[in-house]
Protein backbone atom coordinates (compact mmCIF):
# COMPACT_ATOMS: atom_id res chain seq x y z
CA UNK A 1 0.00 0.00 0.00
CA UNK A 2 1.29 3.43 -0.95
CA UNK A 3 1.82 5.95 1.87
CA UNK A 4 0.93 9.57 1.38
CA UNK A 5 2.27 12.61 3.13
CA UNK A 6 -1.14 14.30 3.23
CA UNK A 7 -2.19 13.27 6.80
CA UNK A 8 1.15 14.46 8.18
CA UNK A 9 0.80 17.71 6.27
CA UNK A 10 -2.69 18.32 7.68
CA UNK A 11 -1.42 17.58 11.18
CA UNK A 12 1.43 20.06 10.83
CA UNK A 13 -0.90 22.69 9.39
CA UNK A 14 -3.29 22.40 12.35
CA UNK A 15 -0.39 22.37 14.81
CA UNK A 16 0.99 25.54 13.21
CA UNK A 17 -2.32 27.37 13.67
CA UNK A 18 -2.46 26.35 17.32
CA UNK A 19 1.12 27.28 18.16
CA UNK A 20 1.42 30.44 16.07
CA UNK A 21 -1.68 32.62 16.10
CA UNK A 22 -2.12 34.69 12.96
CA UNK A 23 -2.51 37.88 14.93
CA UNK A 24 -2.32 38.59 18.62
CA UNK A 25 -5.66 40.03 19.65
CA UNK A 26 -5.62 42.98 22.00
CA UNK A 27 -8.46 43.13 24.49
CA UNK A 28 -9.79 45.50 27.10
CA UNK A 29 -11.23 43.95 30.24
CA UNK A 30 -14.12 46.13 31.44
CA UNK A 31 -15.45 45.74 34.96
CA UNK A 32 -19.04 46.94 35.40
CA UNK A 33 -19.92 47.64 39.04
CA UNK A 34 -23.57 48.10 40.00
CA UNK A 35 -23.94 49.74 43.41
CA UNK A 36 -27.70 50.21 43.05
CA UNK A 37 -30.54 48.06 44.35
CA UNK A 38 -31.84 47.21 40.86
CA UNK A 39 -30.45 45.57 37.73
CA UNK A 40 -28.40 47.77 35.43
CA UNK A 41 -27.91 47.32 31.68
CA UNK A 42 -24.73 48.44 29.88
CA UNK A 43 -23.88 48.92 26.20
CA UNK A 44 -20.52 49.74 24.62
CA UNK A 45 -19.15 51.39 21.52
CA UNK A 46 -15.60 50.38 20.62
CA UNK A 47 -13.23 49.83 17.71
CA UNK A 48 -13.32 46.10 16.97
CA UNK A 49 -9.85 44.79 16.18
CA UNK A 50 -11.12 41.80 14.20
CA UNK A 51 -13.47 43.61 11.79
CA UNK A 52 -11.68 46.98 11.88
CA UNK A 53 -15.00 48.76 12.39
CA UNK A 54 -16.65 50.72 15.18
CA UNK A 55 -19.27 48.55 16.85
CA UNK A 56 -22.04 49.34 19.30
CA UNK A 57 -23.39 46.42 21.33
CA UNK A 58 -25.84 46.04 24.17
CA UNK A 59 -26.90 44.93 26.70
CA UNK A 60 -24.88 43.37 29.49
CA UNK A 61 -26.98 42.92 32.62
CA UNK A 62 -25.36 43.57 35.98
CA UNK A 63 -27.23 42.35 39.05
CA UNK A 64 -27.81 44.70 42.01
CA UNK A 65 -24.88 45.21 44.37
CA UNK A 66 -22.56 43.16 42.16
CA UNK A 67 -19.91 43.38 39.47
CA UNK A 68 -19.43 41.74 36.11
CA UNK A 69 -16.45 41.64 33.76
CA UNK A 70 -16.40 41.47 29.98
CA UNK A 71 -13.59 41.46 27.41
CA UNK A 72 -13.91 43.67 24.34
CA UNK A 73 -11.82 42.73 21.29
CA UNK A 74 -10.25 46.12 20.73
CA UNK A 75 -6.80 47.53 20.21
CA UNK A 76 -8.05 51.06 20.99
CA UNK A 77 -8.01 52.06 24.68
CA UNK A 78 -10.88 54.52 24.08
CA UNK A 79 -14.22 52.83 24.71
CA UNK A 80 -17.61 54.42 25.25
CA UNK A 81 -20.51 53.26 27.39
CA UNK A 82 -24.08 54.02 28.34
CA UNK A 83 -25.96 52.30 31.17
CA UNK A 84 -29.46 52.49 32.61
CA UNK A 85 -31.81 50.77 35.02
CA UNK A 86 -35.56 50.34 34.87
CA UNK A 87 -36.08 52.84 37.69
CA UNK A 88 -35.19 55.69 35.33
CA UNK A 89 -31.52 56.24 36.24
CA UNK A 90 -28.83 56.33 33.59
CA UNK A 91 -25.05 56.60 33.51
CA UNK A 92 -22.88 57.78 30.67
CA UNK A 93 -21.94 61.14 29.31
CA UNK A 94 -23.32 64.67 29.50
CA UNK A 95 -24.65 66.40 26.41
CA UNK A 96 -22.09 68.86 25.11
CA UNK A 97 -19.20 67.46 27.15
CA UNK A 98 -15.94 66.82 25.30
CA UNK A 99 -15.89 63.15 26.34
CA UNK A 100 -19.52 62.46 25.33
CA UNK A 101 -21.65 61.87 22.22
CA UNK A 102 -25.28 61.02 21.49
CA UNK A 103 -26.34 57.90 19.61
CA UNK A 104 -29.46 55.81 19.00
CA UNK A 105 -29.93 52.64 21.03
CA UNK A 106 -32.83 50.24 21.51
CA UNK A 107 -33.79 48.49 24.72
CA UNK A 108 -33.60 45.05 23.10
CA UNK A 109 -30.23 43.33 22.59
CA UNK A 110 -28.53 44.93 19.62
CA UNK A 111 -25.34 44.98 17.57
CA UNK A 112 -24.60 47.64 14.95
CA UNK A 113 -21.61 48.69 12.87
CA UNK A 114 -20.47 52.28 12.43
CA UNK A 115 -23.18 54.80 13.32
CA UNK A 116 -26.22 53.00 11.92
CA UNK A 117 -29.46 53.00 13.88
CA UNK A 118 -30.17 49.69 15.58
CA UNK A 119 -33.39 47.94 14.58
CA UNK A 120 -36.11 47.59 17.15
CA UNK A 121 -39.26 49.14 18.54
CA UNK A 122 -37.77 50.85 21.58
CA UNK A 123 -35.54 53.56 20.09
CA UNK A 124 -34.09 56.15 22.39
CA UNK A 125 -31.20 58.55 22.29
CA UNK A 126 -28.39 57.81 24.71
CA UNK A 127 -25.47 59.98 25.74
CA UNK A 128 -22.35 57.82 25.77
CA UNK A 129 -19.25 58.65 27.78
CA UNK A 130 -15.80 57.82 26.44
CA UNK A 131 -13.28 56.45 28.90
CA UNK A 132 -9.68 55.37 28.40
CA UNK A 133 -8.49 51.91 29.44
CA UNK A 134 -5.18 51.68 31.20
CA UNK A 135 -3.12 48.51 31.12
CA UNK A 136 -5.89 46.76 29.18
CA UNK A 137 -8.49 47.43 31.89
CA UNK A 138 -11.34 49.88 32.43
CA UNK A 139 -14.08 50.29 34.98
CA UNK A 140 -17.63 51.62 35.06
CA UNK A 141 -19.48 52.31 38.31
CA UNK A 142 -23.27 52.70 38.44
CA UNK A 143 -24.61 54.27 41.63
CA UNK A 144 -22.63 55.68 44.55
Does the pLDDT of residue 112 top 90, yes or no?
Answer: no
Does the pLDDT of residue 85 top 60, yes or no?
Answer: yes
Average pLDDT over residues 119-123: 74
User: What integer pLDDT is reported at residue 124 of this predicted model?
Assistant: 84
Average pLDDT over residues 31-58: 94
Element (H, E) at 68: strand 66-72
pTM reported for the whole predicted model:
0.78
CA neighbor of 49 nearest in space, from 74, 23, 22, 78: 74
Residue 136 CA to residue 52 CA, distance in Å, equals 18
Domains of the chain: 25-142 (2.60.40)
Does the pLDDT of residue 27 top 50, yes or no?
Answer: yes
Amino acid sequence: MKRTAMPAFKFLLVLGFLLYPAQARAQVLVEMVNNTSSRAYVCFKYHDQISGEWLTRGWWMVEPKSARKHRLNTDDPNISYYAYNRQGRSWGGREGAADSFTQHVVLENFFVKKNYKPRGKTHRMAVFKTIRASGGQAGIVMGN
